[in-house]
């Protein structure tokens, strides 16, 4: 049983946007130097990896069904993808009553702030195993 009706227009819009993004990332390679897709501005300015560094390359790898390469670019993003898909479905109106309590906990920003800040710090530490968190999994 759903706690609210699915909004077909919103669901269709999210599906079209996701498909368009996937098709775009299948065609454009963010690994190409001087390509159309820009590098991370935070990294360019500071030389420090932000929590999002490697996201475009990870999504490009996922668009090519290369999970290992995606994990090497941004493991947090890849591990959170099922959760992100679920939250997008929730935004479209798909909200099973059994998941409402879980949703309340997942959308609480406080634990996510701790996770993202810890991830940002750890992926910049210069020794293994933390170097595996850097884009490209150097180490």
Query: How high is the pLDDT of residue 94?
Result: 76
- Cβ–Cβ < 8 Å for 92, 14: yes
Query: How high is the pLDDT of residue 84?
Result: 84
SS (H, E, C) the chain: CECCCCCHHHHHHHHHHHHHHHHHHHHCCCCCCCCCCCCCHHHHHHCCCCCCCCHHHHHHHHHCCCHHHHHHHCHHHHHHHHHHHHHHHHHCCCCEHHHHHHHHHHCCHHHHHHHHHHHHHHCCCCCCCHHHHCCCCCC
The model's pLDDT over 80-130, given as tens digits with 9 standing for 90+, comes to: 998 888 887 777 777 777 777 788 888 888 999 999 999 999 999 999 899
Domain ranges of the chain: 8-133
Does the pTM exceed 0.85? Answer: no
Structure tokens at 112: 């996510």
The model's pLDDT over 43-56, given as tens digits with 9 standing for 90+, comes to: 999 999 999 999 99
The model's pLDDT over 66-82, given as tens digits with 9 standing for 90+, comes to: 999 999 999 999 999 98
How would residue 132 be classed by pLDDT, with cut points 50, 70 and 90? very high
The model's pLDDT over 22-49, given as tens digits with 9 standing for 90+, comes to: 888 888 888 888 888 888 899 999 999 9
């Amino acid at each position: 049983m759903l706690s609210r009706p699915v909004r077909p227009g919103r669901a269709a819009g999210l599906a079209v946007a996701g498909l368009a993004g996937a098709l775009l990332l299948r065609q454009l390679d963010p690994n190409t130097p001087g390509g159309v897709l820009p590098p991370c501005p935070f990294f360019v300015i500071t030389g420090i990896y932000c929590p999002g560094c490697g996201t475009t390359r990870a999504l490009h790898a996922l668009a090519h069904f290369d999970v290992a390469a995606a994990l090497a670019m941004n493991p947090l993003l890849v591990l959170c993808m099922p959760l992100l898909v679920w939250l997008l479905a929730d935004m479209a109106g798909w909200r099973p009553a059994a998941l409402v309590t879980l949703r309340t906990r997942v959308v609480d920003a406080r634990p996510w702030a701790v996770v993202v800040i810890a991830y940002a710090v750890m992926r910049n530490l210069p020794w293994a195993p933390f170097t595996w968190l850097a884009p490209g999994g150097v180490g």
